[in-house]
Structure 1
Amino acid sequence: MNPDSDPALQSLLAHYLSMPPVAAMRLQIAGADASGLRLRAPLSAHVNDKGCAFGGSLVSLMTLAGWGVATLALERAGLHADVFVASSEVRYRAPLFADLEATANADAAELAAFVATLRANGRASLNLDARVPLPGGGSACDMRSRYVAIARG
């Protein structure tokens, strides 16, 4: 799916960029489909004292990708909710000396249950996996997170 031609993705990007810490990350939506989202950010905005990507930036990008997957699923279902990250487990695997790219994905059946549960109960949770790949293969970092949605009045 082309981010430039999807109104839901453009709305999501505008929401991201309205948050000052996220705007400073210089992120871009690199791609999306029904159950996943890919975000990019330049290494130059996230470099640490060793010349590689700052660990906090890796986690932030993965967290935002997961939040985006949950938010897009609800928006596409016509639901309005506040989405929060509730918990996450992160594994740092290798330093990244290239631009950051985070991908978050949810199982299609879990996404459907997330939407149905929010519609029925006004609250729902969703588990997502995210990762930042290395240019030559493997992962710089991966994360398992739980997001919670609470319907807006």
Structure 2
Amino acid sequence: MIDETAQQLNERFYRQIPMTRHMGLRITAWDGQVLRMDAPLAPNINDKGTGFAGSLATLATFAAWAAATLLAEKITAQACEAAVFESDIRYLLPVNGDFYVEVPVPEEEAMQAFKGSLQNRGRAKLALNAVIFQDGEEKVRYRGRYAVRVRPSQGSIE
């Protein structure tokens, strides 16, 4: 579902992290439970004609970062900042065509802990998983841990 909300999110994140536009990364769905971000192979190709590992890692890291940011802003109704502080990535199969990543919202217990810490302390940590697919086939697995906080300026959500 690409809709006006996804388009607004893309424009916002392109402003915040310009390289994502150059890579062709774009949110194509966000329903509050799963974030999907798509990417074309052409600007992310390596010397072997497959997806560049750095581009794949960037897609997974960025998509999870976007999900962490959106989840925090939904909870607080304020602008929030997220930063990855730990990650692990497994390249399972080469990517040789356009690809996409899906980032599901963590289970209820993890979300409750995240919400409680964010509301009580203005900051929290959240672990997110992401899977990169090509034509429905799993190619890359990612797990990242994110530190999230309410933006100090208390600015509005862009």
- CA shift, 1:79, in A, is 3.0
Match of 2:155 in 1: none
The TM-score, its normalising length taken from structure 1, stands at 0.88
Q: 1:48-67 maps to which residues of 2 (within 5 A)?
A: 48-67=46-65
Amino acid at match of 1:14: E
Q: 1:81-120 maps to which residues of 2 (within 5 A)?
A: 81-109=80-108, 110-120=110-120
Is the contact made by 1:27 and 1:39 (CA closer than 8 Å) also made in structure 2?
yes
Is the contact made by 2:41 and 2:51 (CA closer than 8 Å) also made in structure 1?
yes
* C-alpha distance after superposition, 1:60-111 (max 9, x if no partner): 1111110111111122221322110111000011101010201112224123
Q: Which of 9, 13, 17 is equivalent to 1:12?
A: 9
Amino acid at match of 1:93: L
Amino acid at match of 2:11: A
Of 39-48 and 109-118, deviating more is: 109-118
* C-alpha distance after superposition, 1:36-78 (max 9, x if no partner): 2110111011011111110111111111110111111122221
Q: Which of 22, 25, 29 is equivalent to 2:23?
A: 25
Over 3 Å counting, the alpha-carbon distance change for 1:122 and 1:41 in structure 2 is same
- CA shift, 1:115, in A, is 2.5
Of 108-117 and 33-42, deviating more is: 108-117
Gaps in structure 1 of 5+ consecutive residues: none
Match of 1:152 in 2: 151
Q: Secondary structure at the match of 2:3?
A: helix
- CA shift, 1:10, in A, is 4.0
Q: How many equivalent residue pairs? A: 149
Q: Between the two proteins, what is the percent identity of the paired residues?
A: 33
Is the contact made by 1:73 and 1:111 (CA closer than 8 Å) also made in structure 2?
no
Over 3 Å counting, the alpha-carbon distance change for 1:123 and 1:90 in structure 2 is same
- CA shift, 1:124, in A, is 0.2
What RMSD over aligned residues (CA atoms) do the two structures have, in Å? Answer: 1.7
Amino acid at match of 1:15: R
Runs of 4+, deviation exceeding 4 Å: none
Of 57-66 and 102-111, deviating more is: 102-111
Is the contact made by 1:106 and 1:127 (CA closer than 8 Å) also made in structure 2?
no
In 2: Cα distance, 1:27 partner to 1:87 partner: 22
Gaps in structure 2 of 5+ consecutive residues: 153-158
Amino acid at match of 2:91: Y
Is the contact made by 2:79 and 2:150 (CA closer than 8 Å) also made in structure 1?
yes
